[in-house]
A and B are shown apart, each in its own frame.
Chain A
Amino acid sequence: MNLRRVVVTGIGALTPIGNNSDDFRKALATGVSGAAPITHFDASLFKTQFACEVKNFDVQDYIDRKEARKMDPFTQYAMVTVEEAMNDSGLDLDKINLARAGVIWGSGIGGLKTFQDEVTGFATGNGEPRFNPFFIPKMIADISAGFISIKYGFRGPNFVTVSACASATNALIDAFNYIRLGKADIFISGGSEAAVTEAGIGGFNAMKALSQRNDSPETASRPFDKDRDGFVLGEGAGALILEEYEHAVARGAKIYAEIVGGGMSADAYHMTAPHPEGLGASSVMTLALEDAGLDPEAIDYINVHGTSTPLGDVSETKAIQKVFGAHAYKLNISSTKSMTGHLLGAAGAIEALACIFALQDGIVPPTINHFTDDENLDPDLNLTFNKAQQRDLNYALSNTFGFGGHNCSVIFKKHI
């Protein structure tokens, strides 16, 4: 069976280090931290009092108040980035076949704030079950894809992938596969998350998953540093328009990059801990390479999951060394979560964008906040510490792994 080619023809971003894709691109290359004290709520009683929030964002600058009221922030973030990506793509809704245009979005949690507010309202009430009629439709993770389809009239396949921190990569791979197989020509894909709430911070704190470096938020996300102490929660969204190659060429679309392969696997090991030898992580990178028909030596850059947790960072580098062998030392490896924090179900979307920018600009974004080497990591790996590195890249691979043992890898090719 002949598989069709898939390219990226539009992008949008709303991140802790840039509220649109241009600002995000510049911030990644500069190496800035998006972490700061939490403003969304009073975090003074929480073990972690900082996060990578979206900044200077007023939803009413983008969405009519009446509409925005029916959306949890995770959907608002989705709508804002999708609008940027759709405008960027130049797609003319009057000229495309809307029945062959779909939406596959990713979100790890969905409407956490809505859930929290409604349940809190009930718990502090007089016991009468008074819930807002929009509670359920606002909260469910799939409503993001629903709202997107309503706005643009895309009537093709429509759903949201939920695989924790692998969700957005899952969405991209699914959209890629549906286009490859000829089931649709265009997808709006990506992911969004808005979990910087009392429940989000408190819940992750209880797992001891978050950094507690309250005296220095901007250096807290330090993947691969000896003194890393957990991830920094981020929020925001990334949107990508995926389009069948010939379809894109026929309309003279601007092409950012090609998606050439994707892999999905499970650790089948533990609820939250990664496999100590990175078994799922190595198998998923191998699957992505096989899917793309590439030798490991073809890859120039890996944007790692690298969340800055003690266990995860080590097992991921072990997996990279297992898959890439001697070539591992020739790779550029970096964790852009050092700058953005961890956007959970949206991470794969903004990290896909980081890979695409690296391919286009020949600039590998850095792993900032490196202070002390960790003796558990091979010192000869190029983890792109502290400063962006210039390098002509042809292929970039993005890893995301989620609680539950979900692993996704996707490979982007430079478009010439």
Chain B
Amino acid sequence: MSEIAEKVKAIIVDKLGVEESEVTMEASFTNDLGADSLDTVELIMEFEKEFNLSIPDDQAEQIGTVGQAVSYLEANVK
């Protein structure tokens, strides 16, 4: 697993209070990991802070799974 994926996983475990084993690439924040809309916003903000980038709202709305977050970050983190 990439360094980015490791960090993303750790943030999700911390913020959503879920087990590491639940955080699979296919897992949806809302359907599988129990996040509500505010949790999702908070996760995006944590990614922005951790990786020092800004994720525009229209792109943030496309990030609904762990895998989508990792792909986005791997493509955009410099």
Chain A, residues 47-72, CB within 8 Å of chain B (1/0): the string is: 00000000000000000111001000
Contact B38 A137 (CB under 8 A): yes
Contact of B42 among A64, A65, A132 (CB under 8 A): A132
Contact of A66 among B16, B38, B45 (CB under 8 A): B16
Contact B41 A133 (CB under 8 A): yes
Within 13-70 of A, Cβ neighbours of B (below 8 Å) are at 64-66, 69
Contact A130 B16 (CB under 8 A): no
Contact B17 A134 (CB under 8 A): no
Contact A134 B42 (CB under 8 A): yes
Contact of A65 among B17, B38, B41, B45 (CB under 8 A): B17
How near does chain A come to B36, taking the closest CB pair, in angstroms? 10
How near does chain B come to A73, taking the closest CB pair, in angstroms? 18
Residue in B closest to A132 when the chains form the complex, CB atoms: B42
Residue in B closest to A134 when the chains form the complex, CB atoms: B38
With a cutoff of 8 Å between Cβ atoms, the chain B residues found around residue A134 in the complex are 38, 42
Contact A133 B45 (CB under 8 A): yes
- Count B interface residues, CB 8 Å: 8
Chain B, residues 38-60, CB within 8 Å of chain A (1/0): the string is: 10011001001000000000000
How near does chain A come to B43, taking the closest CB pair, in angstroms? 10
Provide the bound-state CA to CA distance between A66 and B38, in Å. 13
With a cutoff of 8 Å between Cβ atoms, the chain B residues found around residue A133 in the complex are 38, 41-42, 45
- Say whether chain A's binding surface is mostly helix, strand, loop, or mixed: loop
Contact B17 A130 (CB under 8 A): no
Total A-B pairs, Cβ < 8 A: 17
Contact A66 B17 (CB under 8 A): yes
With a cutoff of 8 Å between Cβ atoms, the chain A residues found around residue B48 in the complex are 130
With a cutoff of 8 Å between Cβ atoms, the chain B residues found around residue A130 in the complex are 45, 48
Chain B, residues 1-38, CB within 8 Å of chain A (1/0): the string is: 00000000000000111000000000000000000001
With a cutoff of 8 Å between Cβ atoms, the chain A residues found around residue B45 in the complex are 130, 132-133
Provide the bound-state CA to CA distance between A132 and B39, in Å. 10
How near does chain A come to B56, taking the closest CB pair, in angstroms? 13
With a cutoff of 8 Å between Cβ atoms, the chain A residues found around residue B16 in the complex are 66
With a cutoff of 8 Å between Cβ atoms, the chain A residues found around residue B38 in the complex are 133-134, 137
Q: Which of A65, A66, A130, A133 has the most CB of B within 10 A?
A: A133
How near does chain A come to B28, taking the closest CB pair, in angstroms? 17
Provide the bound-state CA to CA distance between A130 and B46, in Å. 11
Provide the bound-state CA to CA distance between A130 and B16, in Å. 20
Residue in A closest to B42 when the chains form the complex, CB atoms: A133
How near does chain B come to A175, taking the closest CB pair, in angstroms? 30
With a cutoff of 8 Å between Cβ atoms, the chain A residues found around residue B42 in the complex are 132-134
How near does chain A come to B18, taking the closest CB pair, in angstroms? 8
Residue in B closest to A136 when the chains form the complex, CB atoms: B38
Residue in B closest to A67 when the chains form the complex, CB atoms: B17
Provide the bound-state CA to CA distance between A134 and B40, in Å. 11
With a cutoff of 8 Å between Cβ atoms, the chain A residues found around residue B15 in the complex are 69
Provide the bound-state CA to CA distance between A134 and B17, in Å. 16
Within 135-166 of A, Cβ neighbours of B (below 8 Å) are at 137
How near does chain B come to A17, taking the closest CB pair, in angstroms? 33
With a cutoff of 8 Å between Cβ atoms, the chain B residues found around residue A137 in the complex are 38
How near does chain A come to B33, taking the closest CB pair, in angstroms? 11
With a cutoff of 8 Å between Cβ atoms, the chain A residues found around residue B41 in the complex are 133
Residue in B closest to A138 when the chains form the complex, CB atoms: B38
Residue in B closest to A131 when the chains form the complex, CB atoms: B45
With a cutoff of 8 Å between Cβ atoms, the chain B residues found around residue A65 in the complex are 17
In order of increasing CB-CB distance, the 5 nearest A-B pairs are A66-B17, A133-B41, A133-B38, A133-B42, A65-B17
Task: List residues of chain B with CB under 8 Å of any chain A CB.
Answer: 15-17, 38, 41-42, 45, 48
Question: A69-B17, A132-B42, A133-B41 are known contacts; what are 12 more A-B pairs with Cβ within 8 Å?
Answer: A64-B17, A65-B17, A66-B16, A66-B17, A130-B48, A132-B45, A133-B38, A133-B42, A133-B45, A134-B38, A134-B42, A137-B38
- 17 example contacts (A-B, Cβ-Cβ < 8 A) are as follows A64-B17, A65-B17, A66-B16, A66-B17, A69-B15, A69-B17, A130-B45, A130-B48, A132-B42, A132-B45, A133-B38, A133-B41, A133-B42, A133-B45, A134-B38, A134-B42, A137-B38
